């Protein structure tokens, strides 16, 4: 039998509206070829470009969120951390024209405090420049932690309570969602993790409540359009019931 999966046909009407990727495996990819970890991250930046292009080209993907630097990543060596920020700055400088030309709105989610100033300046500038773009939104999660994000949302609500702007009974899920770093995008439909580990790593805990999860052994620097399409095909085979009864 030929299933839609065998023929590799994606249904353009059932694409995940919000896709997030945990881009793991740069270090292992580099080690396999006897390269430094930074060379692995360098190669990973090319996969970032490929993933954005593939989503943009499909249409139907409203938001793509990429986990680039976690609040836990500070524990890595000084050289790796500063190398990652250098790479990020270079990426923003070289790719922003292209993203803007593609009508892509760029956002950075995570805590700005503690980041190098040249990087936050580039981040602010790209957000301003691409703010009115509408074809797709790309979120780069940098100095991002899901627990920190929820704590920041709770603190902002507490401040409004203290100044009597809101009452406790006004606090609901929608209010919390509206105070997350990206209040605009919908919940995650699909979470992809490369590099084979089955864990969330403090990523999008709130937004991933009903996300489908696809883990691929492919290391991030090897991840290309065909891998993304495969993840979307897997997604389209799932029967999402959001805690309700399976559809007939
Ligand atoms: C995890 O791989 C990856 C990171 C901590 C950094 C992600 C960065 C990039 C993909 C490149 C730059 C990003 C942008 C947005 C240009 P790992 O080092 O933990 O891999 P390992 O598990 O094999 O050690």
Residue 207 CA to residue 188 CA, distance in Å, equals 5
* pLDDT band (50, 70, 90) for residue 247: low
pLDDT given for residue 213 in this prediction: 98
Q: Is 73 a catalytic residue?
A: yes
Pocket of ligand 1 (CB under 6 A): 23-28, 37, 41, 44-45, 48, 66, 68, 73, 87-88, 91, 140, 195, 220
Tell me the CB-side half-sphere exposure of residue 180, using CA atoms within 13 A: 23
Which of 8, 16, 6 has the alpha carbon at shortest distance from 191? 16
Q: Is 24 a catalytic residue?
A: yes
Task: Quote the distance between the C-alpha of residue 89 and its chain's center.
Answer: 18
pLDDT, tens only, 49-87: 999 999 999 999 999 999 999 999 999 999 999 999 999
CB 137 within 8 A of CB 104: yes
> How far apart are the C-alpha atoms of 204 and 50, rounded to whole Å?
22
């Amino acid at each position: 039998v030929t299933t839609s999966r065998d023929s590799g046909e994606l249904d353009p009407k059932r694409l995940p509206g919000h896709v997030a990727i945990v881009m793991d495996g740069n270090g292992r990819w580099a080690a396999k070829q006897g390269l430094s970890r930074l060379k692995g991250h360098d190669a990973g930046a090319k996969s970032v470009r490929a993933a954005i292009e593939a989503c943009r080209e499909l249409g139907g993907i409203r938001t793509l969120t990429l986990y680039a630097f976690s609040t836990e990543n500070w524990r890595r060596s000084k050289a790796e951390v500063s190398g990652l920020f250098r790479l990020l700055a270079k990426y923003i400088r070289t790719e922003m024209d292209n993203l803007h030309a593609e009508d892509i709105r760029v956002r950075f989610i995570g805590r700005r405090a503690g980041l190098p100033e040249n990087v936050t300046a580039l981040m602010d500038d790209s957000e301003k420049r691409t703010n009115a773009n509408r074809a797709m939104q790309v979120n780069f999660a940098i100095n991002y932690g899901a627990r920190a994000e929820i704590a920041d949302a709770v603190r902002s609500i507490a401040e409004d309570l203290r100044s009597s702007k809101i009452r406790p009974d006004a606090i609901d899920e929608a209010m919390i969602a509206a105070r997350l770093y990206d209040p605009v995008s919908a919940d995650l439909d699909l979470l992809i993790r490369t590099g084979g580990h089955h864990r969330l790593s403090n990523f999008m805990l709130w937004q991933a409540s009903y996300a489908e999860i696809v883990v691929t052994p492919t290391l991030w620097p090897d991840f290309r359009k065909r891998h993304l399409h495969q993840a979307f095909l897997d997604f389209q085979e799932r029967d999402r019931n959001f805690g309700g009864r399976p559809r007939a």
